[in-house]
Amino acid sequence: MSTRRPVATALAVAGYIIMIVPILFVVATAFTGGSTLRFPPEGLSLRWFGEALSYQPFIGSLVTSAEIAVLATFLALLVGVPATLAIHRGRLPGKGVVEALFLSPLIVPELVVGLALFQQLIVTFRLDNGPVLLIGHTALLLPYAVRVTGAALAGADPALEEAARGLGASPLRTFWTITLPVLRPGIFSAALLSFITSFNNVPLSLLLQSRTTQTLPITMLDYVQQSYDPMVAATSTLILAATVVIAVIAERTVGFAKIFGGINR
């Protein structure tokens, strides 16, 4: 592969280096025994992990981020799964337009979405920041709910559902016994991707936050502007480790390759 496509191989290696090396710097800095962000680390210590786990603003915003991510993921799947069924199994006119509408948050910059929600819902209708932030996160997660579950549904044979209905099964029974088992891996994968995306979101949360609904990434951003110690690096390392663990468990239980392999169909 390297001899046949040297340019592609070199670009792939360069891409991996650009993505991985900064992460390694952050992880290494998290284990420093010093009091400032420096590389190489000044000794090895777990001091800053303890500081991060005991810093109350981080803990409070962590709970807020988790709550918003769970609720936004649930709402996105609640809307996205029926939309997927309508697009792939229904007789919905203009299916391509409807699907493009659900996927549009992937194209529109998050700052534009956040500014529009801020202007219309907070300034015009004077809604609280918390519900608007939840609406914004839900809108950002809809493409994952529709696209990933749609990939799972696209890989299934519609004849199975037609056979079930032909044998006398009601539409509800057909859904529970045939369609839902087919969708389950896609729903699980979409939920996982949605949760991680919402939890780590910065641009939208930065525009729609309030003092009572500040997420962990925004709290970390504010902390970096005031302090220069390695506590943020330790917090980032903990988040990275949790993400990797979740991804490994999901790969072992569901298998991302099986689900994402159908996205481009």
Per residue in 139-191, pLDDT tens?
A: 999 999 998 888 888 777 777 788 887 888 887 888 888 888 888 888 888 89
Structure tokens at 87: 């697009």
Per-residue pLDDT reduced to its tens digit, 228-243:
889 999 999 999 999 8
Structure tokens at 167: 């044998």
Map tokens 């409070």 to a residue.
60
- Residues 264, 98: Cα–Cα separation, whole Å: 18
Residues pairing with 32 in the sheet: 44
The percentage of residues in the chain with a pLDDT greater than 70, rounded to a whole number, is: 94
Strands (E), the chain: none
Structure tokens at 166: 């032909």
Rounded to two decimals, the pTM is 0.86
Q: Is the pLDDT of residue 192 over 90?
A: no
- Mean pLDDT over all residues of the chain? 86
Directed axis angle between helix 47-54 and helix 231-253, to 10°? 80
Using the CB atoms, write b or e for 209-242: b if 16+ within 10 Å. beeebbbbbbbbeebeeeeebbbbbbbbbbbeee
Structure tokens at 51: 């500081």
Phi, psi for residue 44 in degrees, rounded to 5? -120, 135
Per-residue pLDDT, 264 = 46
Report the CATH number of the 56-227+237-260 domain: 1.10.3720.10
Half-sphere exposure of 102 (CA within 13 A, CB side): 25
Amino acid (one-letter) located at 12: A
